[in-house]
Amino acid sequence: MSGTPLLSLAIWVPILAGFVVLATGSDRNAPLARMLSLIGALAGLLVTIPLYTGFDLHTPAMQFVELKSWIPRFNVNYHLGVDGISMLFVILNSFITVTVVLAGWKVIDSKVAQYNAGFLIMSGLLNGIFSSLDGLLFYVFFEASLIPLYLIIGIWGGARRVYAAFKFFLFTLLGSLLFLIALLYLFVQSGGSFSILDWQQMPLGMAPQTWLFLAFLVAFAVKVPMWPVHTWLPDAHVEAPTGGSIVLAAIALKLGAYGFLRFSLPIAPDAAHQLGGLVIGLSLIAIIYIGFVALAQEDMKKLVAYSSIAHMGFVTLGFFVFSALGIEGALVQMISHGFVSGAMFFSIGVMYDRAHSRQIADYGGVVNTMPKFAAFFMLFAMANAGLPATSGFVGEFMVILAAVEYNFWVAFAAASTMIVGAAYTLWMYKRVVFGAVANHHVAELTDITGREFFIFLLFAAGALGMGLYPQPFTEVMHSSVNELLRHVALSKIQ
Amino acid sequence: MEMQKLYLLVPLAPLVGAAIAGLFCRVIPRWLAHTVTIAGVAVACLASYVIFKDVMAGNTYNGPVYQWLTSGDYHFEVGFLIDQLTVTMMLVVTSVSLMVHIYTIGYMQDDPGYNRFFSYISLFTFSMLMLVMSNNFMQLFFGWEAVGLVSYLLIGFWYTRPTAIFANLKAFLVNRVGDFGFILGIGLVLAHFGTLDYAAVFAKAPELAGNTTLALFGEGEGVALMTAICILLFIGAMGKSAQVPLHVWLPDSMEGPTPISALIHAATMVTAGIFMVARMSPLFELSNTALSFVIVIGSITALFMGFLGIIQNDIKRVVAYSTLSQLGYMTVALGVSAYSVAIFHLMTHAFFKALLFLGAGSVIIGMHHDQDIRNMGGLRKYMPITWITSLVGSLALIGTPFFSGFYSKDSIIESVALSHLPGAGFAYFSVMAGVFVTAFYSFRMYFLVFHGEERFGKAADHDAHAAHARTDAHDDHSAHGDAAAHHADDTHAEEHHGLAPGQKPHETPWVVTLPLVMLAIPSVIIGYIGIEPMLFGDFFKGAIFVDTEAHPVMEELAHHFHGAFAMATHAVTTAVFWLALLGVALSWFFYMKRPDIPAAIKSRCGPLYTLLENKYYFDKFNDVVFAGGARLLGRGLWKGGDAGLIDGIIVNGSVGLVRWFAAVARLFQSGHIYHYAFTMIIGVFVLMTLWVTRA
């Protein structure tokens, strides 16, 4: 396999497939467009598999590296590579793309080619983010990936889609500008290098570290999203089509968290230690405050969106307790959240496609008409509530345990999600699924189709597999996470 | 190696059964569903017996099955610890589970969810076995939550009933409150011991206990590490084993079908907390504070939950409150370091309480799903097997000499008397008073159900039914043991409970009565057989640790013990015996001879009765303060914080600011040439002035 530019394939295969799909044009060719999209998505997934099988567990260094000059004048390179932190996200993203294409198979019937092309192109761009080792390249992918998502929400979204798309765009733009300034500062400071790896090794004083850290914090906090810059997410989710919600929750939210590990911690380690308390505080607010807000939601998508924010609070909390258990727990939580929230949004989509409502009050007794669906939904609800044997448990468990080591009361606050998380998830489940048939809309529901069953099966395999045997997921992280911790423990101030 | 495969077989056999019955529940016929699950549990039961023999021969085991996760320096494994404590639990779980599986064939006969039910109870058996066989805290927590999940699914089994789906959510959330403490306890263990493996933790505990305090509340005294760990772990036990104030879910869990009330909410799952504390005895022994805490919680539960049993009229709820009270007894025993006595009572209780529940279920079948004991009476004529076995169960429960419950309960009371820990005095009072209360409510129920006037089949019943309507909703899912009789009698019976006027109850089919008989046998004999080896022999040596110098209760108890036979004959000279007898006699007098007296007491002691009726207002308090408060807080944060402050003021505020700025800026772009020209002239003028004055 050596020599095959796997990462380039992971990026460009889906993008190319996206353009091919786009070429099929109008909806007269919709079946062809769907088929080509599926082939493209599967091909995209296939090329990422060797990243796992060929991954060397024993080195913290970047693997599958590709380095070509791109803009020599500014020393910008097409520099790709993955380590134990980023590799799994490339695979997860390619996996999610397959489910998204399948999820939109029957439901999307206008501008089919454009819709699928949007997801394929976005998939490639997202892979680009996770594998970029050049700051400017990262930034280009980071910003470019906004465009397809913006369009997906703005074109195939719900009634208030334009408002949601704008809010989404403006929030993230705000962060991006600070991010760009930080990158340019680093470029100058490093004597003209855009290499992220160079930046990580570069000594920096406390003041610049602090400013850089804060700039990164704003940029990434919006993406994660962290309280208080999270309010775009529920709106974006509510208006996004099912596929958009799945990608948004499963992958897009991970970008910010990934940024913390790739930029904030290694580039500004002293500031990270100094300001870690701030991030932990914001994380705990996300977990508790947002948990209660989720409890009060009447719209299922909003509820799951808020629960996503609370779950991402665990991720940022895990990063800033500075232990292997915490960081790996956070990474596990990110991957698990990809399966579980993806599945939750898909579940809501399945109901929405039939009854055209997301309001909890419009449902009740769904189990009577959709027993198979109810069983899957139960599984994912339990995973969302962090039940052992599901992936949702593993990350939470690791982060809570790591937090106890850091500070008992931090863990105490974080562990409250055991109660609140179960409360909002299962209360919603009770009102939607259990009970007698509530109205004629519910009575007319039909159970899931073979296609939907298959998608659920994919998600279930992820959530259960990771819950029962997380070792294959964490063993690839060890070297990189340990190296990161070693690096972060050293001061950069000279 | 061979034994290790057998260990693996024990949990996996029920899991396979559960998977087959569950995944294909809509495809396979009923006989296949119950055959595979019963076969799975039977295999587990037999294997447990073989393992029991093997452990008796001295072969204990502690080893991993697979590495679940590694992170940093931590290793988390799935593994088994097979010792005397484990095999005792394995035998109890698998044998009660097997009986309940068989019983279910009869009880759920007409239920559309038949296959699903079998899948759930086998899944439960798997989870419970994983819990008891674990050799580390992680897997313990897995089993802990998994049994909670199955309990949730089973309480809400009849998912169209509003009361059932309320009860299951409540059960899950209250248990989660316990788990919240539990996981923090586990976290402290990992943080200070660096491992979650039982053996390693226990080995290191005495050394760490002496010199570790946690500054949890700022710089000050600090809390002893062991006290913090043990109390947090015990909070988990309080949820699962339904100790005050986390007991509120158990009575409501009676919304589930009766077989699971017997299996999960009486015999096994609710005793997981007891088992856990016994398993953690090397840790609890290191903290007297934690032990006192355990004693106090246990004794409050033992006495005050017993009182509630007196005023219940739903046959299952009487048994449920009795379970709460008995769990309190076990907890008290743990607190006074009589862990083996607690496990002994856990075992005897598992048999006689499962028997009582299944007996109650049999009565419910006979009564066509009327659960109100005020509508029963004189059933002994019609249901002789149920009658005799229920009598056996009741006698065991109240501690009649020679019955199993006598040995375990009497040992608890004596060990409490011997303890000198703070709280033991109160505990002694509670368990003594509890004896009377237990005897009273048990025989109140017994007399009202099996003796006296036949109150069923009266037209007037239906008023009572209306009052009882909570449990009546959507009867179409209810189980009916005797389908033939049921359908012949009254095809409309789906919509109302109980016997039609003139209709008589009838004995239940053999699949129901066989488990009753099979459970009645150990309910009688297991105490007599078990007491000597389990309490005073070295049966639990190595599995349960007692610091005999600090807590010499068991040693002193051994001095008073002169054989099982002598213990029973000696009992007539003790206050315990007479208290129980008094309870029985009084209930006979009140409910058989002078039914006017309880009615009079009820009207005289209005406030007290109201207090009991409302279950000490725990439910109301939780509803208003916690459930209501959380929703209110959520709404407040959402509307006030997210929508009001962040979106309203900050986001829209900055949008507004931009808009205002734009509006101001727009004033300058009027579109009139002369405005621009004029501005330019002024500009040029200003610039020139500056340039001129520069010099």
DSSP string, B517-578: HHHHHHHHHHHHHHHIIIIISSTTBTTB---TTT-THHHHHHHH---HHHHHHHGGGSHHHH
Domain boundaries, chain B: 3-214+223-457+502-593, 621-694
Dist CA B18 CA B149 (whole Å): 14
Look up residue B430 and give its two tokens: 């509670």
Nearest residue of chain A to residue B157 (CA atoms): A434
Of A228, A398, A419, the CB nearest to B646: A228
Of A231, A296, A325, the CB nearest to B651: A231
Instruction: Assess whether pLDDT exceeds 60 at residue B461.
Output: no
Of B162, B216, B474, the CB nearest to A408: B216
Domain boundaries, chain A: 1-156
Q: Once rounded to an integer, what is the mean pLDDT over residues B243-260? A: 89
Average pLDDT, chain B: 85
**Are B637 and A293 in contact (CB < 8 Å)?**
yes
Of A296, A365, A397, the CB nearest to B631: A296
Q: Once rounded to an integer, what is the mean pLDDT over residues A225-230? A: 86
Which residues lie closer than 8 Å to A53 by C-beta, 6 or more apart?
Answer: none
Question: What's the pLDDT score for residue A464?
Answer: 93
Question: What's the pLDDT score for residue A29?
Answer: 79
> Which of A242-256, A372-386, B311-325, B366-380 is predicted least confidently?
B366-380
Contacts of B239 in chain A (CB under 8 A): none
Question: What's the pLDDT score for residue A2?
Answer: 54
Percent of chain A with pLDDT over 90: 41
Instruction: Assess whether pLDDT exceeds 70 at residue A382.
Output: yes
Contacts of A329 in chain B (CB under 8 A): 71
Instruction: Assess whether pLDDT exceeds 90 at residue B233.
Output: yes
Kind plus residue range of the DSSP H or E element containing A88: helix A87-103
Q: Once rounded to an integer, what is the mean pLDDT over residues B321-346? A: 92
Kind plus residue range of the DSSP H or E element containing A78: strand A76-82
Q: Once rounded to an integer, what is the mean pLDDT over residues B639-655? A: 77
* B274 or A155, higher pLDDT: B274
**Are B638 and A297 in contact (CB < 8 Å)?**
yes
Q: What is the pLDDT of residues B504-533, one digit of tens each?
A: 888 888 888 898 999 999 999 988 888 888
Is residue A454 within 8 Å of A346, Cβ to Cβ? no
The alpha carbon of residue B29 is apart from the nearest alpha carbon of chain A, in Å, by 18
Q: Once rounded to an integer, what is the mean pLDDT over residues B472-479? A: 39
pLDDT band at B475 (very low <50, low <70, confident <90, very high): very low
Contacts of B67 in chain A (CB under 8 A): 471
Question: What's the pLDDT score for residue B459?
Answer: 52
pLDDT band at B477 (very low <50, low <70, confident <90, very high): very low
Within 10 A of B452 (CB to CB), how many other CB atoms are there? 18
* B486 or B423, higher pLDDT: B423
pTM of the prediction?
0.89
Within 10 A of A485 (CB to CB), how many other CB atoms are there? 16
Dist CA A350 CA A451 (whole Å): 11
The alpha carbon of residue A347 is apart from the nearest alpha carbon of chain B, in Å, by 19
Percent of chain B with pLDDT over 90: 35
Distance from the Cα of residue A102 to its chain's centroid: 19
Q: What is the pLDDT of residues A326-347, one digit of tens each?
A: 999 999 999 999 999 999 999 9
Q: Once rounded to an integer, what is the mean pLDDT over residues B335-362? A: 91
**CB of B155 less than 8 A from some CB of A:** no
Question: What's the pLDDT score for residue A489?
Answer: 87
The alpha carbon of residue A189 is apart from the nearest alpha carbon of chain B, in Å, by 33
Question: What's the pLDDT score for residue A306?
Answer: 92
Dist CA B80 CA B62 (whole Å): 6
The alpha carbon of residue A8 is apart from the nearest alpha carbon of chain B, in Å, by 31
> C-alpha distances in angstroms, A10 versus A81, A82, A123, A138, A144?
11, 12, 9, 15, 16
- A288 φ, ψ (degrees, to nearest 5): -85, -55
Question: What's the pLDDT score for residue B546?
Answer: 86
**Are B186 and A228 in contact (CB < 8 Å)?**
no
Kind plus residue range of the DSSP H or E element containing A13: helix A6-23
> Which of A83-97, A199-213, B235-249, B588-602 is predicted least confidently?
B588-602
Instruction: Assess whether pLDDT exceeds 70 at residue B495.
Output: no
Interface test with B, best of A232, A237, A295 (most B CBs within 10 A): A295
The alpha carbon of residue A381 is apart from the nearest alpha carbon of chain B, in Å, by 12
Of B72, B172, B637, the CB nearest to A426: B172
**Are A231 and B631 in contact (CB < 8 Å)?**
no
Of A328, A427, A482, the CB nearest to B169: A427
Residue B348, burial from CB neighbour count under 10 angstroms (0-12, 13-18, 19+): buried
Contacts of B180 in chain A (CB under 8 A): 415-416, 418-419
Q: What is the pLDDT of residues A423-438, one digit of tens each?
A: 999 999 999 999 888 8
Contacts of A474 in chain B (CB under 8 A): 69-71
> C-alpha distances in angstroms, B222 versus B26, B193, B211, B214, B218?
57, 19, 12, 5, 8
Within 10 A of A452 (CB to CB), how many other CB atoms are there? 22
Q: Once rounded to an integer, what is the mean pLDDT over residues A178-185? A: 90
| ipTM, two decimals | 0.90
pLDDT band at B369 (very low <50, low <70, confident <90, very high): confident
Is residue B18 within 8 Å of B37, Cβ to Cβ? yes
Contacts of A292 in chain B (CB under 8 A): 630, 633-634, 637-638
Instruction: Assess whether pLDDT exceeds 60 at residue B491.
Output: no
**Are B187 and A401 in contact (CB < 8 Å)?**
yes
Question: What's the pLDDT score for residue B1?
Answer: 55
Instruction: Assess whether pLDDT exceeds 90 at residue A463.
Output: yes
Q: Once rounded to an integer, what is the mean pLDDT over residues B472-480? A: 39
* Helix/strand/coil percent split, chain A, to 5: 75, 5, 20
Q: Once rounded to an integer, what is the mean pLDDT over residues B285-310? A: 90
Q: How many contacts does A have with B, using Cβ atoms within 8 A? A: 139
Nearest residue of chain A to residue B152 (CA atoms): A426
Distance from the Cα of residue A7 to its chain's centroid: 19
> Which of A51-55, A332-336, B501-505 is predicted least confidently?
B501-505
User: Which letter does DSSP use for residue B136 in this model?
Assistant: B
Question: What's the pLDDT score for residue B301?
Answer: 92
Cβ within 8 Å of A, B 160-199: 160, 162, 165-166, 169, 172-173, 176-177, 179-180, 183-184, 186-188, 190-191
Interface test with B, best of A235, A237, A293 (most B CBs within 10 A): A293
pLDDT band at A205 (very low <50, low <70, confident <90, very high): confident
pLDDT band at B12 (very low <50, low <70, confident <90, very high): very high
**Are B641 and A292 in contact (CB < 8 Å)?**
no
Type of residue found at B111: D
Contacts of B635 in chain A (CB under 8 A): 296
Instruction: Assess whether pLDDT exceeds 70 at residue B466.
Output: no
Question: What's the pLDDT score for residue B497?
Answer: 66
Instruction: Assess whether pLDDT exceeds 70 at residue B281.
Output: yes
The alpha carbon of residue A139 is apart from the nearest alpha carbon of chain B, in Å, by 25
Q: Once rounded to an integer, what is the mean pLDDT over residues A25-51? A: 86
Average pLDDT, chain A: 89
> C-alpha distances in angstroms, A180 versus A94, A134, A189, A253, B619?
27, 13, 14, 19, 56
Instruction: Assess whether pLDDT exceeds 70 at residue B481.
Output: no
Look up residue B200 and give its two tokens: 């390693």
Question: What's the pLDDT score for residue B218?
Answer: 67
Helices (H) and strands (E) counted in chain B, each on its own, are: 30, 4
**CB of B642 less than 8 A from some CB of A:** yes
**CB of B255 less than 8 A from some CB of A:** no
